[in-house]
Every structure is written in structure tokens, then in C-alpha cells.
Amino acid sequence: MIAALDAAVAVQLRATVESAVPPRTVRTVYRFPIICECAPVPRRQHVTPYFFRQGPLLCGLWLAKFRPADDVVLPPQASGNDA
């Protein structure tokens, strides 16, 4: 009887633990590097294509526009026609 209760409690405990742990969803957002035209060292940062498309990104030093880094190939929907 006690063994049966222990087993029942163990099953319930395991179900509780499993339901308390949310499924692990790793969502990786694509980001690409952009650089500004500042000399001697351009600043570099990573942004999402959506963020880049929202509008011109200006560097605060020379007010130069950030552009995708040379080693970046943007997906078709991410490249603007303002270059």
C-alpha cells in the first residue's frame, strides 16, 4: 500500500516537474554587421534586417551613414535601393 502510494506520488511529482519546465525554444535572430565611414576606424555593429530597413542609421561621430559591411550578402528583401 505504501509502495503504491510512493509510486503514485513519484509519478505525480515527475509530471509536475515536467509541466513546470517550459519547452526550450531557442530563437536565433539573424543579424548582420554594418559599418560607418568614420576614419581611421569605422565603427561596426550588428543589426537585424528589419532594423536596418526602418531607416538610415547615422554614426554619431561624423553623421555618416552605416552601410552593410563588405563581407555581408544581404537577403534580397533586406537590401535597400538607397545605396
Report the interface residues with Zn ion, using CB under 5 A: 36, 38, 43, 59, 61
Name which of 50 and 62 has its Cβ closer to Zn ion: 62
Name which of 15 and 61 has its Cβ closer to Zn ion: 61
Cell 519546465 sits on residue = 21
Four-CA torsion 45, 75, 83, 29, nearest 10 degrees: -30
User: Which residue type occupies 82?
Assistant: D
Name which of 38 and 78 has its Cβ closer to Zn ion: 38
Q: How far is the CB of 65 from Zn ion (least distance, A)?
A: 9
Q: How far is the CB of 13 from Zn ion (least distance, A)?
A: 57
- Cross-strand pairs, 67: 35
Q: Phi and psi for 12 in degrees, rounded to 5? A: -65, -40
Q: How far is the CB of 62 from Zn ion (least distance, A)?
A: 5
